[in-house]
C-alpha cells in the first residue's frame, strides 16, 4: 500500500491531507472549549447547531465548488481554500459571540467543501493505475481514522502546557503547511472540459449524473445505509457508555477507538480484496451486515449492563466501523468509473454533497430518537433505515455491470467526431450504434435502456 508514496505528487497531496486533518482535529477540540467559555451550559446546543451548519455548508457548497473546479486550475483552488481555512482559524480566538462561532464555522466548512472534492478528483489523475488508486483510497480512510484518534490526544497533550486558543494556531499552521505542499506538487494538466453552459448548469450536472447512472444511485443508497449505522456511533456513544453502562469518561474514547480500529483494519485489507472481487461484491454484503449489527445493538442496550454486554458493544462498534469502511472506501472507484476525467470534480462534489445530506438526516434522528424513545428503539429504527437503503442499493445496482455498453445515437450528425467508429443501423432512421466505456456526459444524456 505504501508504494504509492513513491509518486512525488501523491506523496505531497497525501501529506497535505494529513496535516490539514490534524489541524481540523485540533480546531474541533478548541471550538468545544470556546463554545463552553461563551455559552456555558448551553455549549452543547451551540455545538449541535455548529454541526448542522457544517453539514448544510457541505451539502450546499460542494456542487458549486465542483463547478468551479472544472473551470479553474485545481491547484490554485485547493491552495485558495487552504489559505481561507487558515485565515478563519486565525480569527477564531477573537470570537466573543455565539453568532460569530456560527459564521466562522460556515466559512471554514464551506472552504472544506470546496477543497475536499477537488482533492478527490485530482488523486485518480495523479494515480491512473487502478491498483495504485485503490491503495490511495485505503490510505485516505486510514488517515481519517488515525486523525480521529491522534488529534484529541495531541490536543490533550498541548493543553497541559498552553491555553486552548493556541490550538487554533496549530490549526492555522496545519492549513498553511497543506497549502505549501499542494503548491509543491506537480499535478497533471486538467482534462479539456467539453460540456458547455454556466456554473449553475455545471453545479447541477453532478446530481444529474447520479440520477442517470444506476451504480451511482446505488452508491447514494449505500451512503444512507452507512450514515444510519454511523449516526448511532457518533451521536449516541456518550449516552450508551455514560448513561447505560455507567462507565467513566475514558470509556467513551475506548468505544470510539473500537469503531476506528474496525475501520482501519478493513482499510488495510481492502486493496488485496478488491484486486480479486468487484466493488459491488464487497460493498453490498458490508451494507447488509449493518442492519444485523444494529439489531444486536438494540438487544445489547435492552438488557441490564454487564461485562459481557460491554464487550459485545465494543465488538458491535468495531463491526460498524469495519462494514462502514468496506462500503465507503471503494466509493471513489465507483465514482471514477462513472464519469469522464473532465467531469470528476462535478462527480466527486455531488457525491460529497449527497452523502453528507444522508448524515444531515441521520444525525438529528439518532439524537431525537434516543432522547424520546430510548436506545433500543433508536438502534432498531436506524437499522430499519439501513436495511431499506441496502436492499435498495442491491436492486439499483445491476449484478452484471460492465463498463462497456452497446448503445445508439439518434441526436448526433453523421459526421460528428464521436461517431467515428460507429455504424449505421438498419433502415433509414439516422441512428448509429457502437460500444465503448459508457458514462453520462455531453454526448450521452441517459442510461441505455437495455443495460
Q: Is residue 159 part of a domain?
A: yes
Say if residue 258 is in the same domain as residue 377. Answer: yes
Say if residue 72 is in the same domain as residue 162. Answer: yes
Say if residue 134 is in the same domain as residue 238. Answer: no
Say if residue 208 is in the same domain as residue 356. Answer: yes
Say if residue 247 is in the same domain as residue 367. Answer: yes
CATH, residue 41: 1.20.1250.20
Q: Is residue 132 part of a domain?
A: yes
- The confidence score (pLDDT) of residue 427 equals 61
**Which residues contact residue 356 at a Cβ distance below 8 angstroms, ignoring those fewer than 6 apart?**
55, 58, 59, 62
Burial class (CB in 10 A: 0-12, 13-18, 19+), 318: buried
Residue 443: which of 423, 403, 413, 398 has the closest Cα?
413
- The confidence score (pLDDT) of residue 43 equals 67
Q: Is residue 112 part of a domain?
A: yes
Q: Is residue 446 part of a domain?
A: yes
> Other CB atoms closer than 10 Å to residue 157's CB: what's the count?
9
Say if residue 313 is in the same domain as residue 451. Answer: yes
**Which residues contact residue 36 at a Cβ distance below 8 angstroms, ignoring those fewer than 6 apart?**
43
- Asked which of 190, 212, 228 is the last residue of a domain, the reply is 190
Q: Is residue 277 part of a domain?
A: yes
Q: How many CA atoms lie within 13 A of 5 on its CB side?
A: 8
pTM of the full structure: 0.88
- Asked which of 190, 214, 244 is the last residue of a domain, the reply is 190
- The confidence score (pLDDT) of residue 194 equals 59
First to last CA, the chain: 35
- The confidence score (pLDDT) of residue 5 equals 87
- Asked which of 190, 224, 252 is the last residue of a domain, the reply is 190
Say if residue 158 is in the same domain as residue 45. Answer: yes
Number of domains in the chain: 2
Say if residue 246 is in the same domain as residue 325. Answer: yes
Q: Is residue 405 part of a domain?
A: no
**Which residues contact residue 144 at a Cβ distance below 8 angstroms, ignoring those fewer than 6 apart?**
21
Structural domain boundaries enclosing 313: 204-397+441-451
Say if residue 270 is in the same domain as residue 158. Answer: no
Burial class (CB in 10 A: 0-12, 13-18, 19+), 285: middle
Q: Residue 371 and residue 374: Cα distance in Å, rounded?
A: 6
pLDDT by residue for the chain (451 residues), tens only, comes to 678 888 899 999 999 999 988 888 888 778 877 877 887 767 666 766 787 888 888 888 888 877 776 677 888 889 999 999 999 999 988 888 888 888 988 998 899 888 888 888 888 888 888 889 899 989 898 888 877 777 767 777 777 787 878 888 888 999 999 999 999 988 877 666 555 555 666 667 888 889 999 999 999 999 999 999 999 998 888 888 888 888 887 788 788 888 988 999 999 999 999 999 999 999 999 999 999 999 999 999 999 999 999 999 999 999 999 999 999 999 999 999 998 888 888 888 889 889 999 998 998 888 888 888 889 999 999 999 999 999 999 999 999 888 888 888 887 887 888 888 888 877 656 788 888 888 888 778 888 876 5
Say if residue 209 is in the same domain as residue 186. Answer: no
Q: Which three cell numbers mark 348?
A: 466527486
268 near 138, Cβ under 8 Å?
yes
Opening angle at CA 341, ends 340 and 347, nearest 5: 70
- The confidence score (pLDDT) of residue 82 equals 93
Q: Is residue 418 part of a domain?
A: no
Q: What is the tens place of the pLDDT at every residue in 60-72?
A: 888 887 777 667 7
Say if residue 233 is in the same domain as residue 185. Answer: no
- The confidence score (pLDDT) of residue 340 equals 85
Say if residue 245 is in the same domain as residue 142. Answer: no
Q: Is residue 16 part of a domain?
A: yes
Q: Residue 308 and residue 418: Cα distance in Å, rounded?
A: 64
Amino acid at each position: 500500500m505504501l508504494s504509492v508514496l513513491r509518486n512525488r505528487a501523491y506523496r505531497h497531496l497525501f501529506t497535505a491531507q494529513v496535516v490539514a486533518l490534524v489541524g481540523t482535529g485540533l480546531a474541533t477540540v478548541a471550538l468545544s472549549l470556546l463554545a463552553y467559555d461563551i455559552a456555558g451550559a448551553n455549549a452543547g446546543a451551540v455545538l449541535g447547531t455548529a454541526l448542522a451548519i457544517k453539514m448544510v455548508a457541505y451539502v450546499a457548497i460542494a456542487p458549486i465548488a465542483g463547478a468551479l473546479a472544472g473551470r479553474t486550475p485545481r491547484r490554485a483552488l485547493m491552495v485558495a481554500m487552504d489559505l481561507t481555512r487558515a485565515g478563519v482559524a486565525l480569527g477564531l480566538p477573537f470570537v466573543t459571540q455565539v453568532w460569530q462561532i456560527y459564521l466562522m464555522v460556515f466559512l471554514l466548512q464551506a472552504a472544506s467543501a470546496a477543497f475536499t472534492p477537488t482533492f478527490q478528483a485530482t488523486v485518480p489523475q495523479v494515480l491512473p493505475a487502478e491498483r495504485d488508486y485503490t491503495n490511495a483510497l485505503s490510505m485516505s480512510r486510514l488517515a481519517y481514522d488515525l486523525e480521529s484518534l491522534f488529534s484529541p490526544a495531541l490536543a490533550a497533550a498541548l493543553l497541559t502546557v498552553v491555553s486552548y486558543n493556541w490550538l487554533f494556531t496549530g490549526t492555522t499552521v496545519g492549513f498553511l503547511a497543506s497549502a505549501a505542499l499542494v503548491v509543491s506538487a506537480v499535478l497533471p494538466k486538467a482534462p479539456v472540459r467539453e460540456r458547455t453552459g454556466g456554473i449553475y448548469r455545471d453545479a447541477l450536472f453532478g446530481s444529474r449524473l447520479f440520477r442517470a447512472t444506476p451504480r451511482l444511485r446505488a452508491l447514494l443508497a449505500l451512503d444512507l445505509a452507512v450514515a444510519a449505522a454511523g449516526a448511532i456511533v457518533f451521536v449516541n456513544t456518550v449516552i450508551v457508555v455514560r448513561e447505560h453502562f455507567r462507565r467513566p469518561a475514558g470509556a467513551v474514547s475506548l468505544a470510539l477507538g473500537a469503531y476506528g480500529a474496525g475501520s482501519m483494519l478493513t482499510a488495510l485489507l481492502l486493496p488485496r480484496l478488491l484486486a480479486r472481487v468487484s466493488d459491488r461484491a464487497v460493498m453490498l454484503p458490508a451494507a447488509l451486515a449493518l442492519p444485523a449489527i444494529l439489531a444486536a445493538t438494540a438487544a445489547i442496550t435492552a438488557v441490564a449492563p454487564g461485562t459481557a454486554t460491554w464487550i459485545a458493544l465494543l465488538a458491535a462498534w468495531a463491526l460498524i466501523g469495519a462494514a462502514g469502511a468496506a462500503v465507503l472506501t471503494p466509493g471513489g472507484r465507483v465514482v471514477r468509473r462513472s464519469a469522464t476525467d473532465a467531469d470528476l470534480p462535478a462527480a466527486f462534489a455531488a457525491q460529497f454533497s449527497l452523502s453528507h445530506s444522508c448524515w444531515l438526516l441521520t444525525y438529528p434522528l439518532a439524537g431525537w430518537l434516543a432522547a424520546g424513545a430510548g436506545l433500543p428503539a433508536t438502534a432498531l429504527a436506524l437499522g430499519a433505515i439501513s436495511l431499506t437503503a441496502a436492499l435498495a442499493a442491491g436492486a439499483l445496482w445491476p449484478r452484471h455491470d460492465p463498463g462497456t455498453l452497446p448503445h445508439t445515437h439518434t441526436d448526433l450528425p453523421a459526421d460528428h467526431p464521436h461517431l467515428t467508429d460507429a455504424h449505421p443501423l438498419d433502415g433509414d432512421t439516422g441512428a448509429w450504434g457502437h460500444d465503448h466505456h459508457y458514462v453520462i456526459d455531453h454526448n450521452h444524456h441517459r442510461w441505455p435502456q437495455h443495460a
